[in-house]
Amino acid sequence: MPPSTPPAARLLNLVIALMNTSGRMTKDEIRSSVAGYDDATSTDAFERMFERDKDALRDMGVPIVAVDTGGHSQDAGYRIDKDAYALAELDLTPAEVGVLSLAAQFWQDTALHVDTARALTKLRSVPGAGDDGTDTIAGLSPRVRPLAGAYEPLLDAITARRVVTFTYRAASTGQVRTRTVEPWRVAVRGGWYLLGHDRDRDAPRSFRLTRVEGTVHPTGPPGAFTPPADVDVDTLIGLATPEPTLHALLAVRPERASALRARATTHPDHADNPVVPGRDVLRVHFTTLSAAVHEIAGYGDAIVVLDPPDLRDAVVTHLTTALHLTPTRSTRG
């Protein structure tokens, strides 16, 4: 027997078919041409499957409408109201496009890479969404390794609140064991992590998805546990967050350095800054002088350091050194 089509794939196939029909699709046409409905073993089974899918899509906001031609009931059909389903005209700033670009870079697997690339191409064509949006992601671009087959079954189990089992290679010992986990959520901290309750150890644990070997298996019934309302991701993953020790006063061009703006504690008006007029003055905390220099220098002339003097001097030195770097010429003839 051929494998049945997953419900999510069947829903997507139905949306594609109803979006591309010239007028309407009857139930007979849907059953015969939309992949997934050939799994129905009888007319009654198809009717139940189609009604469930139709209700599910409407609950997700997909406007499926019935088209009655006034003839025989079997001639009635369905389509998607494209006007109601169309995305409203976008008005994105360069900073907002930069944030979307950052999010898209997390999806490096082959299943989604093409879709995210197409989406970003369309978003960058929006008036006002120029190259300045790259400032938003300067120094933040992640490189996340492919997740093999772990991500999707874990996401399904998190949604259904089902326990999962998987084979996991420990980072500290290299030992491979089967883990039984109540999955709470998936988070990104330089890599993808599963956070959940390890039933074998009876304690909260984190698991890096690139160390999951083989297939993730959901076990038991849905609704088997209730995840906590608040999860301290950094503590559970074991990432210590150092206290900020450096407080910098920065003069920033408008609509630039959005990543720093998001961390600023104060936003004085640029009129209070006679030294560099026409800029916003931000106070930003850093953990070390070195971290501040590398991050600030990445924005080039978009940022002027007002205080402290040692940070300003270090940034100027860093940029001056970079300016005088010349490519090494090959000595080979």
Q: Does the CA dihedral 108-113-119-122 come out positive or negative?
A: positive
Answer yes or no: is 166 within a domain: yes
177 within a domain of the structure (yes/no): yes
Q: Is residue 146 situated within a structural domain?
A: no
| Structural domains in the chain (count) | 4
Task: Decide if pLDDT at 330 tops 50.
Answer: no
- Based on the domain organization, do 163 and 126 belong to the same domain? no
Between 137 and 264, where is the model more confident? 264
* Sequence-ordered alpha helix ranges (H) in the chain: 7-20, 27-33, 43-59, 82-85, 94-104, 110-124, 151-160, 233-237, 258-263, 289-297, 309-323
> Which residues share a beta bridge with 247?
285
pLDDT range class, residue 118, cuts 50, 70, 90:
low
Both 43 and 81 in one domain: the answer is yes
Q: In terms of domains, do 123 and 56 share one?
A: no
* Residues paired with residue 252 on neighbouring β-strands, in sequence order: 280, 303
pLDDT of residue 142: 47
Residue 332 banded pLDDT, cuts 50, 70, 90: very low
Domain region containing 318: 246-323
CATH, residue 279 = 3.30.70
Query: For residue 66, what is the domain's CATH number?
Result: 1.10.10
Domain boundary among the residues 237, 255, 281 is at 237
170-216 tens-digit pLDDT: 877 778 999 999 999 988 776 788 999 999 999 999 998 888 988 99
What's the rounded Cα separation, in Å, for the pair 77 and 62?
A: 16
Instruction: Please identify, among 210, 237, 264, the residue that sits at the C-terminal boundary of a domain.
Output: 237
Which residue, 182, 204, 237, sits at the end of a domain? 237
Are 295 and 250 part of one and the same domain?
yes
